[in-house]
Amino acid sequence: MTEIYKYAKRYRNQVTNALECNPTARRTQLQHKFEQVVALVEDNIYECCSEA
């Protein structure tokens, strides 16, 4: 999961742009879902760091 998050964070703009340009992705709102997942993972990372 950490590796996927690193990839998503590194290529966030490219992934977001690709999802915005794809009609199927737009119809299924994948860009919005992608942003939600990234935000959720970021929140969990900060919780883990603050507990350490």
pLDDT digits (tens, 9 = 90+) for 1-52: 778 888 888 999 999 999 999 999 999 999 999 998 888 887 765 544 444 4
Residue 45: its pLDDT value, please? 54
Please give the residue range of the domain that contains residue 12.
Answer: 2-51
Specify the number of domains making up the chain.
1
Tell me how far apart the alpha carbons of residues 25 and 50 are, in angstroms, rounded to a whole number: 35
pLDDT for 50 equals 45
CB 35 within 8 A of CB 42: no
> What's the rounded Cα separation, in Å, for the pair 35 and 31?
6
- At residue 52, the pLDDT reads 42
Q: What is the pLDDT of residue 51?
A: 44
pTM: 0.70
